[in-house]
A = this chain, B = another copy of it.
């Protein structure tokens, strides 16, 4: 069963348990999905309203894009959980002979790579989503402006959370060149996302 098919209550019970997944990576994805869904909601509350007539086309396009990002975040949540479950499972692989040890080490590095690329994907999605949110204040339903602020906060937290997940796994990656590339990519995504998240929050606080 996919995590998205659990009830909200069951998802949180499983998150709180000692099960290998879901964990912090899934939480990052949920934070991102909150941000994308709130952007979608604000667009939904704008499309078809006569006082926002001049922004109809933009709002409809942003609604469609944010709905896709919401689904992408839930997919990334599942990918992260699958990667961590695969990583955990390597601990139970046989490692008596030299061949077994080598096979286990290789599988561990492959699973670890997925435990890095899944949260990096969430960071890419967070940047895409905050770029979208950044264009909405002043062009969408003013009664929902605080929701754009919450979207920005959640996307900022999602990016930082995903980055912590990348960071904790990078140290165990044996391919140093690959690790450096992931690190550089993550740092660039994080700084851009946080700058935009803070800019949206400042705009929202300015009108609250």
Q: Which residues of B contact A157 (CB under 8 A)?
A: 31, 153-154, 156-157
Near B by CB (< 8 A), chain A positions 126-142 give: none
A161 to B149, CA, bound (A): 7
Q: Is residue A45 within 8 Å, beta carbon to beta carbon, of the partner chain? A: yes
In the complex the two chains form, is A23's CB within 8 Å of B154's CB? no
- Please judge, given known A-B contacts A30-B34, A150-B165, whether A4 and B15 are in contact too, CB under 8 Å: no
In the complex the two chains form, is A40's CB within 8 Å of B27's CB? no
A164 to B99, CA, bound (A): 58
In the complex the two chains form, is A164's CB within 8 Å of B149's CB? yes
Q: Is residue A114 within 8 Å, beta carbon to beta carbon, of the partner chain? A: no
Q: Which residues of B contact A5 (CB under 8 A)?
A: 7-9
Q: Which residues of B contact A205 (CB under 8 A)?
A: 164, 167
In the complex the two chains form, is A204's CB within 8 Å of B164's CB? yes
Q: Which of A6, A34, A145 has the most CB of B within 10 A?
A: A34
Q: Is residue A173 within 8 Å, beta carbon to beta carbon, of the partner chain? A: no
Q: Is residue A41 within 8 Å, beta carbon to beta carbon, of the partner chain? A: yes
Say which size band chain A's interface belongs to. 35 or more
Q: Which residues of B contact A33 (CB under 8 A)?
A: 12
Pick from B3, B154, B165, B168: contact of A161, CB under 8 Å: B154
Pick from B6, B154, B171, B208: contact of A7, CB under 8 Å: B6
- Please judge, given known A-B contacts A161-B150, A164-B150, whether A16 and B37 are in contact too, CB under 8 Å: yes
Q: Which residues of B contact A149 (CB under 8 A)?
A: 24, 161, 164
Chain A residues proximal to chain B, CB less than 8 Å: 3-9, 11-12, 15-18, 23-24, 27-28, 30-31, 33-34, 36-38, 40-41, 44-45, 66-67, 70, 74, 144-147, 149-151, 153-154, 156-157, 160-161, 164-165, 167-168, 171, 201, 204-205, 208
Given A18-B45, A157-B157, 12 extra CB contacts under 8 A: A16-B37, A16-B41, A27-B154, A28-B150, A31-B34, A31-B157, A146-B168, A150-B164, A153-B157, A154-B157, A154-B161, A171-B208
